[in-house]
A and B are shown apart, each in its own frame.
Chain A
Amino acid sequence: MKNIFLLFLGILFTIAFSFTGIVLISNVQYGKLKPVAMAEGEDTQPREPSGIAQQGKKEYETLGCLYCHSQQVRRKGFGADFARGWGDRQTVARDYIFQKRVVLGTMRTGPDLTNVGERLTDESWHYLHLYDPQLTAKGSLMPPFKYLFRKQKIRDERTPNALKFPPDYKHQPEEGYEIVPTENAEKLVAYLLSLKLNYELPESKFSQ
């Protein structure tokens, strides 16, 4: 290549082209979406997550949950996202507008979690699952998150959210002790329970 100016111009043009096309145009097209209502008088969707759920999301991020769990539902017929109950409609850009950090994920070593708050509503199930995944899903590859719990002496009576192990569980705490979730575990579970795809948007209605 003899014309160095042309070489440099080409290098500049190709990157500017994709940067404009993919990044800047995305920003213009769907970078400033607002919540909408399905009909006049109804609540606008999506809604801003609660404070504790937002704190729990931070926990989700720093523990690296997104490397095994996605949070996106693909359209009906594309994969088995619908059939597995991961959501009743495809997720669209507007669903994510209140997430400061979008954690779509690219891996499903574990199931998708977009709608986990609708599928698994029991708080104590989540605590057991985080403490030892083998208790709730035998054969799971999820690591135990025991550091989100602490062992303490039972005072007058059991703490309400102390883990209730099945009787045949081998690693029960000693007599007189209980395992309770730490504040971080409470936030994380609050976040998981808040993940619900239970509203429609004009561009994505149920069964789409």
Chain B
Amino acid sequence: MTTSNIQDTTGYATGHAPIHKTKLAAIDYSLKAPVLFFACSALIWLLIGTAFALLASFSLHSPKLLPNWEWLTFGRIRSAHLNSVAYGWGNNVVYAVCIWVMARLCQTKIRYPNVLLTAGVFWNLGITIGIASILSGNLNAVEWLEMPKMVSPILGLSYVLIGVWGVMSFFYRESPHVYVSQWYLLAGFFWFPWIYTAVQTMVIWFPAQGTVQAVTNWWFGHNALGLWYTPMAIAVVYYLIPKVLGKPIHSYYLSVIGFWTLALFYNWAGVHHLIGGPIPVWLVSAGVVASVMMVIPVLVTAVNHHMTVVGSFRHVWDSPTLRFIVFGAMSYTLTSVLGSTMALREVNQITHFTHFTVGHAHHGIYAFFTMVMFGGLYYMMPRMLQREWPSVGLIHLHFWAAGIGITIYVVGLSIGGWIQGLSMNNPDVPFIDVVRRTVPWLISRSVGGSLMALGHVAFAVNFIWMLCAKRVQEGPTMFYQATSGEPIKVIP
């Protein structure tokens, strides 16, 4: 280990004096129990969600494949998949990685980790009940909100006890400067409870009349991506690229523009899910405009990340963390630009109601968000456990299987969905032929999905192996160095 590695490089990114690595280790240690709990829960839900995904995917092109049991019907396992990967994997991994990033950037220890841990247990309990209810048919027929009414107070309350930690770290921060990742994290931790409470109130508990429900539903559905998973993943990208490369973010001003335009435009984009639908046209137009304007934050952020990485591509390739992170960041650019295009009425006329949209959703939530979070875990776990990943081969397998898998998935469904849309808009094609034409592409999705599943298994094996490995070094042993020596100067 060279001396420069001993020093933390956050200073490069935030522009203030670097903090001593031992202090970071102390922060990491204060978070160890809850973060490990969240990371393990995320992994378990990822595997469960993947299993549901494969069942749903295969049964869609081979409808007679699954035994004829009500709980295994497509509508149910599809919803079980969505809820376990979104709230199970997505939220848990955000809790793990983002609370950790926030605490580190704020240079503040988490004071009552047991509260966080307890809230985490309740969150996962809520989701377990939710998924079981979905399978048994006790569900809301609302996309993204299938888990039954009674689960939402459990989730809401435990979220408050989790999210508040992110916000509290911020308000009790000891760092002299606020870094761009912290804006995104603070915003995300604040936006999620707002949209969740609003949609639970107005769609589930006291349903609004008629299609107001649908509008509220998609305001939430799109903002769950745009104001929760996306800012959290962007925060991780902004944190880890400079950190691993050891150089500052290209431009502070681009970060500012990127953040505020995202906050302003993403908020309004959700209505594009209802283009042509039974709602006032002005709302749809507002949604289309906002979706197109999303090009600004996306390109600005892309340029900012790209300019930071320029000259260090070799390093990106060599680092497992950065390979996943950069794959994710590039997918964010691509999927967002495609998304803006899909919101145009001419394009939407073809892609709406087709598998193209499903491909696009996975492009965002998997190729971007999930890959970034994998990268975050690859960086965070060794620092939590004070030991390295046991198998490089498994990391390779994970990266390539997930990367190639999601590529096949998105390309396959995009082509299939486009064909489906064109055929559906041509009334001379009988509907059953529209259905038939999608089948090869649905099969390609199963192939891609199976590869992704393989990647997840490789990741899980490596993860569990790492957890069970012999202890190399305890976190607290770092405290000794903290009190004994002067901080070492950074060697760029």
Chain A residues within 8 Å of B, Cβ to Cβ: 1-2, 4, 7-8, 10-12, 14-15, 17-19, 21-23, 26-27, 29-33, 60-68, 70, 72, 74-75, 78-80, 83-84, 90-97, 99-111, 133, 137-147
Contact = CB atoms under 8 A, between A and B. Distances in A.
B211 A104 contact: yes
B215 A26 contact: yes
Given A67-B78, A79-B349, A97 B209 contact: yes
Interface residues of B, number: 81
Nearest to B216: A23
A30 B263 contact: no
Contacts of A147: 68-70
Contacts of A30: 209-212, 279-280
Contact of A91 (B66, B138, B278, B435): B278
Contacts of A23: 198, 202, 212, 215-216, 219
Contact of B276 (A10, A62, A74): A74
B108 interface: no
Interface of B is mostly: helix
A14 B64 contact: no
A102 B260 contact: no
Interface stretch (B33-41, B186-194, B302-310, B398-406): B186-194
Contacts of B216: 22-23, 26
Contact of B73 (A4, A33, A64): A64
B432 A140 contact: yes
Interface string B274-289: 1011111001001000
A64 B74 contact: yes
Contacts of A21: 268, 286
Interface string B339-356: 000000100010011110
B191 A15 contact: yes
Given A33-B210, A64-B78, A80-B425, A110 B59 contact: no
Interface in B201-241: 202, 207-216, 219, 223, 227
Nearest to A58: B141
The 8 nearest A-B residue pairs measured at CB: A64-B75, A83-B427, A18-B267, A61-B141, A74-B276, A108-B353, A96-B210, A14-B263
Nearest to B255: A1
B61 interface: yes
Contacts, number: 214
Given A18-B268, A103-B141, A104-B277, A31 B209 contact: yes
Nearest to A64: B75
6 contacts: A4-B178, A15-B190, A26-B283, A72-B276, A93-B212, A108-B353
A64 B79 contact: yes
A26 B427 contact: no
Most buried by A among B190, B210, B223, B283: B210
Given A23-B198, A30-B279, A139-B432, 15 more contacts: A1-B183, A1-B256, A10-B260, A17-B267, A21-B268, A22-B219, A22-B270, A23-B202, A26-B212, A26-B279, A61-B139, A64-B74, A64-B141, A104-B278, A141-B61
A198 B344 CA distance: 31
A144 B205 CA distance: 33
Most buried by B among A32, A90, A91, A104: A104
Contacts of A145: 73
Contacts of B215: 22-23, 26
A117 B140 CA distance: 24
Nearest to A73: B278
B195 A15 contact: yes
B214 A109 contact: no
B59 A32 contact: no
A31 B191 contact: no
Contact of A100 (B63, B207, B353, B354): B207
Contacts of A62: 137-139, 141
Contacts of B436: 139
B424 A108 contact: yes
Contacts of A14: 263-264, 267
Interface string B59-95: 1110110101110011110110000000000000000
A33 B68 contact: no
A137 B432 contact: yes
Contacts of B68: 144, 146-147
B431 interface: yes
Contacts of B278: 72, 90-93, 95-96, 104
B357 interface: yes
B51 interface: no
B273 interface: yes
Contacts of B74: 64, 67-68, 143
Nearest to A11: B187
Contacts of A63: 70, 73, 75-76, 137
A30 B277 CA distance: 14
Contacts of A107: 353-354, 357-358
Given A14-B267, A80-B425, A147-B70, A109 B141 contact: no
A99 B4 CA distance: 64
A188 B489 CA distance: 73
B110 interface: no
Nearest to A184: B70
Contacts of A143: 59, 63-64, 66, 73-74
Contacts of B66: 143
A140 B271 CA distance: 31
A106 B273 contact: yes
A116 B121 CA distance: 46
B395 interface: no
Contact of A94 (B207, B210, B439, B442): B210
Most buried by A among B61, B139, B215, B227: B215
B210 A102 contact: yes
B492 to A, nearest CB: 26
B75 A67 contact: yes
Given A30-B210, A80-B425, A101 B142 contact: yes
B190 to A, nearest CB: 6
